[in-house]
Amino acid sequence: MKIAVLGTGGVGATIGSKLVELGHQVKMGSRSATHEKGLAWTKAAGPNASLGTFEDAASFGELAFNCTSGLGSVSALEAAVAGLSGKVVIDVANPLDFSKGFPPTLFTGNTDSLGEQAQRALPNSKVVKALNHVTASLMTDAKRVAGGDHDALICGNDAGAKAEVTKILKEWFGWQSVIDLGDIGQARGTESYLALWVRLYGALGTADFNLKIMR
Amino acid sequence: MKIAVLGTGGVGATIGSKLVELGHQVKMGSRSATHEKGLAWTKAAGPNASLGTFEDAASFGELAFNCTSGLGSVSALEAAVAGLSGKVVIDVANPLDFSKGFPPTLFTGNTDSLGEQAQRALPNSKVVKALNHVTASLMTDAKRVAGGDHDALICGNDAGAKAEVTKILKEWFGWQSVIDLGDIGQARGTESYLALWVRLYGALGTADFNLKIMR
């Protein structure tokens, strides 16, 4: 499958590399088609990895991951809007503001969310919020924590897109449990959880954890 | 032990009744010493239950639970400040604003929290944020979900007070795991989690759940 990975940071590189490993063709999207970190990633990831602008990657992919930093997400998606039309966009970004150090604050939440902003920026795409509540290495390898015995939380407006993302999480990334919270507005919940995540990270001394909802 | 329970709502009644069951003397605090719901609770809970003003209850208790609704917490605690001096105050309240319906928004968070506001209102007390991330019936009976196999999250500035609260959670309320997140500022995390809690509640169709941090 041809897949766009928007963003050249650690999350984009981790997801992009996993997708290449799984046999997919991945084009990483960046503000610049000659972005240094992006080029370094393509070199490391091999012949099925390439780099382009956000627009290039969006047009290339049959599916896209939004792995841009939260503060840059909306402008990146606006640049990619034409290429992403009609496609499923898995939004793993978080509205984190590190400008005052650690722990970061959230620059949106409570009455809006980055997931909703992404869906508004891409009115003809099917945005599914997913995986934003775990560290990058766990996103694509759920089994690295507790043998995979924990929950993925997703939300989005399109039932078919959520079914597709659930399949991807289970079949490609080893997730065993995917909880659908409802429409994209529920991203307010999964993004606000980051305020707890960063504190659990501080208290536990590791990013290798996730929540399991015990009933 | 003599214990103050501030607040006459469902959370105060549930915690107060459990404490009476455990053999403690409980004075519920309210804006009025003749509050109707408070009087009904004392009648149901028996001779070890009584009702008074916030000040009465605070002076009576060797320990206090803040079970007031979030919007009324600071004024209730300000009324009780003298009586609570030097004491441990277990703050289970949440900054929920239901004025626009369900799901509620949070009226503070991100750069402040209700736990911090409580500690500022009670500068001579030892505020420990605890139990705010579960439904009332689960606060005092952790085993009713998954046999107790899930985590309590606490935070506060005083290590001794947190040790006492951890003992209370384990010995009185059946909690098996208590994670200390750090100082009272970490309440920003456990309160922000409510934005996810209300959505899990909606998706799962039950309030009988809690998170377990899988590592």
Is the C-alpha dihedral spanning A175, A179, A184, A188 positive or negative?
A: negative
Report d(CA B5, CA B58) in Å as an integer: 8
pLDDT of B119-173, one tens digit each?
999 999 999 999 999 999 999 999 999 999 999 999 999 999 999 999 999 999 9
pLDDT of B161-193, one tens digit each?
999 999 999 999 999 999 999 999 999 999 999
Helix (H) or strand (E) holding A210: strand A210-214
Q: Do B179 and A111 count as a contact with CB atoms less than 8 A apart?
A: no
pLDDT of A37-65, one tens digit each?
999 999 999 999 999 999 999 999 999 99
Mean pLDDT score, A120-138: 98
pLDDT of A95-120, one tens digit each?
999 999 999 999 999 999 999 999 99
Question: Hey, what are B152's tokens?
Answer: 């309590």
Please list every residue in chain A whose beta carbon sits closer than 8 Å to the beta carbon of residue B208: 215
Report the half-sphere exposure of B115 (CA within 13 A, side-chain side).
31
Q: If you ran DSSP here, which 8-state letter would residue A104 be given?
A: P
Which one of A190, A211, A215 has the shortest CB-CB distance to B206? A215
Asked if residues B156 and B126 have their Cβ atoms less than 8 Å apart, the reply is: yes
Q: Please provide the average confidence, as pLDDT, over all residues in chain A.
A: 98
Phi and psi for B57 in degrees, rounded to 5? -65, -45
Question: Hey, what are B213's tokens?
Answer: 């941090």
pTM for the whole thing?
0.98
Q: Which of B196, B197, B212 to mutate to test the interface with A (most CBs of A within 10 A)?
A: B196
Q: Please provide the average confidence, as pLDDT, over all residues in chain B.
A: 98
Strand partners, B52: B29
Look-up of token digits 């939300």: A155
**Residue A46: Cβ-neighbour burial (10 angstroms; 0-12, 13-18, 19+):** exposed
**Does A111 lie at the interface with B, CB-CB under 8 angstroms?**
yes
Query: Which residues have CB under 8 Å from A180's CB, separation 6+?
Result: A154, A155, A162, A166, B203
Q: Do A189 and B211 count as a contact with CB atoms less than 8 A apart?
A: no
**Does B150 lie at the interface with A, CB-CB under 8 angstroms?**
yes
DSSP-assigned letters across all residues of chain B: -EEEEE--SHHHHHHHHHHHHTT-EEEEEESSTT-HHHHHHHHHH-TTEEEEEHHHHHHH-SEEEE-S-HHHHHHHHHHTTTTTTTSEEEE----EE-TT-SS-EESS-SS--HHHHHHHH-TTSEEEE-STTS-HHHHT-GGGTGGG-SEEEEEES-HHHHHHHHHHHHHTT--SEEEE--SGGGHHHHHHTHHHHHHHHHHHS-S--EEEEE-
Please list every residue in chain B whose beta carbon sits closer than 8 Å to the beta carbon of residue A203: 179-182, 186
**Does B215 lie at the interface with A, CB-CB under 8 angstroms?**
yes
pLDDT of B20-41, one tens digit each?
999 999 999 999 999 999 999 9
**Does A212 lie at the interface with B, CB-CB under 8 angstroms?**
yes
ipTM for the complex shown: 0.97
**Does A160 lie at the interface with B, CB-CB under 8 angstroms?**
no
Q: How many CB atoms lie within 10 A of CB B79?
A: 19
pLDDT above 90: percentage of residues in chain A: 100
Q: Which of residues 112-131 of B touch A (CB under 8 A)?
A: none
Asked if residues B171 and B144 have their Cβ atoms less than 8 Å apart, the reply is: no
CB pairs under 8 A between A and B: 123
- Distance from the B63 Cα atom to the nearest Cα atom in chain A, whole angstroms: 27
**Looking at chain A, which residue has its C-alpha nearest residue B196?**
A189
- Whose CA is closest to A5, among A61, A43, A45, A44? A61
Question: Hey, what are A151's tokens?
Answer: 């929950």
Q: What is the pLDDT of residue A13?
A: 98
- Whose CA is closest to B178, among B205, B144, B135, B139? B139
Q: What is the pLDDT of residue B13?
A: 98
Report d(CA A26, CA A17) in Å as an integer: 8
Look-up of token digits 């709502």: B9
The single-letter code of the amino acid at A44 is A
Q: Do A215 and B146 count as a contact with CB atoms less than 8 A apart?
A: yes
**Looking at chain B, which residue has its C-alpha nearest residue A196?**
B189
- Whose CA is closest to A6, among A178, A184, A127, A133? A127
Query: Which residues have CB under 8 Å from B99's CB, separation 6+?
Result: none
Mean pLDDT score, B67-95: 98
**Does B190 lie at the interface with A, CB-CB under 8 angstroms?**
yes
The single-letter code of the amino acid at A4 is A
Please list every residue in chain B whose beta carbon sits closer than 8 Å to the beta carbon of residue A199: 181-182, 186, 188-190
pLDDT of A149-179, one tens digit each?
999 999 999 999 999 999 999 999 999 999 9
Report d(CA A97, CA B167) in Å as an integer: 36
